[in-house]
């Protein structure tokens, strides 16, 4: 299929499962990277959710430091998963599949679960993932300009900052609030009890 026709395909025209031959993702040698990124992201999200539930349900104070450590580890884990996905690119034209214009139109969830695994060729240059000399020659002869990278350094820095602020805020809120500390306080309403006759 020519690059022009590939670019005109809508998301609904892509197969919903990876081709038997592995498709572009396996031929380009990046299948393991995508799987690793997915596993890291699931682990990070699961760890953060478990920690928040632990703080909210009133686990023993001794577990607080362990839950806090788990969230601190989950933050860079999630960032590593995002970084791995941004490295998925065509070896001929340099198109970053996860953030290209076509991928943004499809939607992040469908891109990684359906579209990229089902690709047979790069939607920009038509390379089948093998980065053969023929594909490189066709791309150079086409005279087309590579698509501008969506995730610039400024956008990456802003996304990392927002993520860290959100997660640190969640850690702080989860660690500072525990059952019984909400408005109204404990049954004695916070009054200091003194022995009778003192």
DSSP 3-state assignment of 108?
A: helix
Which of 12-21, 117-126, 159-168 has the largest mean confidence?
117-126
pTM above 0.85, yes or no: no
Q: What local confidence, expressed as pLDDT, does residue 137 receive?
A: 92
Provide mean pLDDT across the span 47-71.
Answer: 74
Provide mean pLDDT across the span 65-80.
Answer: 81
d(CA 117, CA 53): 34
pLDDT band for position 18 (cuts 50, 70, 90): low
Judge contact between 13 and 107, C-beta under 8 A.
no
Residues contacting residue 182 through CB under 8 Å, at least 6 positions apart: none
Provide mean pLDDT across the span 160-186.
Answer: 62
pLDDT band for position 133 (cuts 50, 70, 90): very high
Residue 7 has pLDDT above 50, yes or no: no
Residue 183 has pLDDT above 70, yes or no: no
DSSP at 96: B
Q: What local confidence, expressed as pLDDT, does residue 136 receive?
A: 92
Better pLDDT: 114 or 164: 114
Judge contact between 49 and 75, C-beta under 8 A.
no
């Amino acid at each position: 299929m020519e690059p022009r026709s590939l670019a005109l395909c809508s998301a609904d025209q892509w197969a919903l499962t990876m081709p038997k031959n592995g498709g572009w993702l396996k031929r380009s040698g990046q299948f393991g990277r995508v799987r690793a990124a997915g596993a890291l992201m699931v682990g990070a999200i699961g760890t953060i959710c478990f920690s928040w539930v632990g703080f909210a349900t009133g686990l023993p104070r001794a577990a607080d430091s362990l839950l806090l450590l788990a969230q601190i580890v989950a933050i860079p884990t999630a960032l590593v998963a995002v970084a791995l996905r941004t490295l998925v690119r065509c070896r001929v034209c340099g198109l970053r599949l996860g953030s290209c214009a076509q991928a943004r139109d499809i939607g992040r969830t469908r891109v990684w679960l359906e579209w990229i695994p089902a690709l047979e060729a790069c939607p920009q240059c038509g390379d089948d993932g093998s980065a053969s000399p023929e594909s490189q020659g066709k791309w150079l002869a086409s005279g087309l300009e590579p698509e501008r990278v969506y995730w610039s350094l400024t956008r990456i820095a802003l996304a990392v900052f927002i993520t860290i602020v959100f997660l640190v805020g969640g850690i702080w809120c989860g660690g500072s609030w525990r059952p019984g500390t909400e408005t109204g306080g404990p049954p004695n309403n916070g009054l200091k009890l003194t022995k009778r006759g003192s």
